[in-house]
């Protein structure tokens, strides 16, 4: 039973903020105080910058921070995933070294999982990490790596053993991105943003103490990272707005957001922006059209049902219950809503939906929606992979036939040849 109640959390935090929140501090000074107090990540354990607060009470914490405009810990892209993964699987040395600096925003992270030949089949990763004396030497290529061009460290999934079945030969490392063996090459997307990179590793080095748990535990640890990623995939996340106040701390935060959030500015558009539909229908003068109204009603029904399913999943999580089918359905439902919203935007705006620039519908936002929504069915696991997960784990249907898990990975036919 938790020692906390809504009232006690509110009272304690309110008093703490009154005493400590000071917009005249620098961003780093404030974040150091915040992280040390445990109010930055209160759901984390007390010994690691938290307060063991039940997730169900985080709402109160958010409300109190908003009430006085207090700035929170850094929440940028894979940095949040890194924190949760290092907390769950890192040694005390790694927690000591990385958690505090990630929360203050001094370190940024990227997720080095997907490869040109292994995206959905993540367990097939062929990037090698070979132990040579007192270091691991990493060779291979990653792709789709969001924010790698800004990252100080990467969460690296790499193969340490080809002579065991594929899931057993993977290990999980923290890799310094700022070293000569790591080359980051940006990619530009069809929506004209540049969130992703290719990352080439040529004899890049990783100290053995940067291995999480043991060699061969990589798949288990990657599952933790993916679980956190998928849990957030159904929200309009990363629409982080700077506070428009004149003090230096808010300007520093605005500068941080402008840089670290640049790769994510289009993320709200990938959800399909169902929230713009009614306003757009009114502006376009088709809100009285019975066919359009019918389609809008269908979309809104689907969108509300998905929102409530996701709220049910969150409520279950807050009450400490095991993840149920709602969690698995949320990501897929978000893809369905995005596609349906695309159809309705197109119906409302006609060929104009393809235009960008001045005089285009919503100043080009609708066009950006149309070309950004495919991302939601891919990121963090595609719709088809999500359907496999639902059929196998939730509905307990027979597993997909496998030919690649019953023998050493070296012997499995694949499109990249083992180097040795």
Ligand X SMILES: Cc1cc2nc3c(=O)[nH]c(=O)nc-3n(C[C@H](O)[C@H](O)[C@H](O)COP(=O)(O)OP(=O)(O)OC[C@H]3O[C@@H](n4cnc5c(N)ncnc54)[C@H](O)[C@@H]3O)c2cc1C
**Residues forming the site for ligand X (CB under 6 A):** 110-111, 113-114, 119-120, 144-146, 375, 378-382, 384-385, 388
Sign of the alpha-carbon torsion through 30, 47, 150, 120: negative
The smaller minimum CB distance to ligand X, of residues 105 and 381, is found at 381
Smallest gap from residue 114 Cβ to ligand X (A): 4
Q: Are 34 and 40 in contact (CB under 8 A)?
A: yes
Report the residue number, 361 or 380, with the smaller CB distance to ligand X: 380
The residues, any chain, with a CB within 8 Å of residue 193's CB and separated by 6 or more, are 263, 265, 266
**Closer residue to ligand X, CB minimum distance, 39 or 109:** 109
Q: Which is nearer to ligand X, 327 or 381 (CB)?
A: 381
In angstroms, the CA 350 to CA 64 distance is: 45
Q: Which is nearer to ligand X, 29 or 384 (CB)?
A: 384
What does the H/E/C string look like for 260-306? HCHHHCCHHHHCCCHHHHHHHHHHCCCCCCHHHHHHHHHHHHHHHHH
What Å distances lie between residue 137 and 94, 109, 134, 286, CA to CA? 19, 20, 10, 61
Number of residue whose CB is nearest ligand X: 119
Min CB(31)–ligand X separation in Å: 24
Shortest Å distance, C-beta 115 to ligand X: 8
**Separation CA 157–CA 122 (nearest Å):** 9
Which CB sits closer to ligand X, 260 or 349?
260
Minimum distance between the CB of residue 355 and ligand X, rounded to whole angstroms?
24
Beta carbon nearer to ligand X, 37 or 198: 198
CB of 229 to ligand X, least distance (A): 9
Cross-strand pairs, 171: 158
| CB of 378 vs ligand X, minimal distance in Å | 4
Residue with smaller CB distance to ligand X, 54 or 116: 116
- Between 257 and 332, name the residue whose CB sits nearer to ligand X: 332
Query: Is the separation of the CB atoms in 368 and 266 below 8 Å?
Result: yes
Cα separation, 67 vs 89, whole angstroms: 35
> How many Cβ atoms are within 10 Å of 197's Cβ, its own excluded?
23
Q: Which is nearer to ligand X, 195 or 349 (CB)?
A: 195
- DSSP codes joined into one string, 200-243: EEEEEEE-GGGB-SSTT-HHHHHHHHHHHHHHHTTS-TT-PPPP
Smallest distance, ligand X to C-beta of residue 205, A? 21
| Main-chain phi, psi angles of 239, to 5 degrees | -90, 70
Q: State the minimum distance, in angstroms, from the CB of residue 38 to ligand X.
A: 29
Helix or strand run (H / E) with residue 170: strand 170-176
Q: How far is the CB of 187 from ligand X (least distance, A)?
A: 11
Taking residue 365's Cβ as centre, other Cβ atoms within 10 Å add up to 18
* Phi/psi at 92 (5° precision): -60, -35
Q: What is the Cα–Cα distance from 317 to 306, expressed in whole angstroms?
A: 17
Least Cβ distance, residue 405 to ligand X (angstroms): 13
């Amino acid at each position: 039973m938790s020692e906390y109640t809504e009232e006690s959390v509110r009272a304690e935090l309110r008093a703490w903020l009154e005493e400590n929140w000071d917009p005249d501090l620098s961003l780093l000074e404030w974040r150091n105080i915040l992280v040390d107090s445990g109010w930055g990540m209160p759901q984390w354990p007390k010994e690691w910058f938290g307060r063991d607060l039940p997730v169900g009470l985080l709402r109160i914490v958010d409300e109190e921070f908003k009430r006085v405009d207090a700035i929170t810990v850094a929440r940028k892209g894979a940095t949040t995933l890194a924190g949760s993964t290092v907390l769950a699987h890192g040694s005390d040395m790694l927690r000591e070294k990385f958690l505090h600096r990630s929360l203050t925003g001094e370190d940024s992270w990227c997720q080095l999982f997907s490869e040109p030949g292994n995206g959905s089949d993540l367990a097939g990763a062929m990037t090698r990490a070979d132990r040579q004396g007192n270091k691991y030497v990493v060779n291979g290529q990653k792709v789709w790596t969001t924010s790698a061009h800004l990252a100080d460290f990467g969460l690296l999934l790499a193969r340490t053993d080809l002579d065991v079945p594929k899931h057993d030969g993977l290990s999980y490392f923290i890799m310094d991105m700022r070293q000569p063996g790591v080359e980051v090459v940006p990619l530009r997307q069809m929506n004209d943003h540049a969130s992703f990179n290719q990352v080439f590793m040529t004899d890049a080095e990783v100290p053995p103490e940067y291995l999480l748990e043991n060699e061969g535990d990589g798949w288990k640890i990657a599952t933790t990272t993916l679980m956190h990623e998928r849990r957030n995939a159904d929200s309009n996340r990363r629409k982080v707005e700077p506070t428009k106040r004149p003090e230096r701390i808010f300007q520093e935060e605005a500068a941080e957001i402008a840089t670290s959030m640049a790769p994510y500015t289009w993320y709200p558009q990938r959800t399909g922006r169902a929230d713009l539909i009614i306003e757009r229908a009114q502006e376009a003068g088709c809100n009285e059209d019975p066919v359009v109204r019918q389609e809008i009603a269908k979309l809104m029904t689907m969108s509300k049902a998905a929102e409530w399913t996701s709220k049910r999943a969150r409520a279950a999580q807050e009450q400490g219950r095991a993840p149920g089918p709602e969690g698995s359905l949320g990501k897929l439902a978000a893809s369905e809503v995005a596609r349906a919203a695309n159809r309705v935007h197109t119906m409302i705006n006609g060929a104009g939906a393809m235009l960008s620039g001045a005089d285009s519908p919503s100043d080009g936002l609708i066009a950006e929606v149309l070309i950004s929504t495919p991302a939601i069915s891919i990121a963090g696991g595609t719709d088809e992979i999500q359907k496999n997960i639902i059929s196998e784990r939730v509905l307990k249907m027979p597993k997909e036939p496998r030919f690649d898990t019953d023998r050493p990975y070296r012997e499995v036919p694949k499109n990249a040849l083992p180097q040795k």
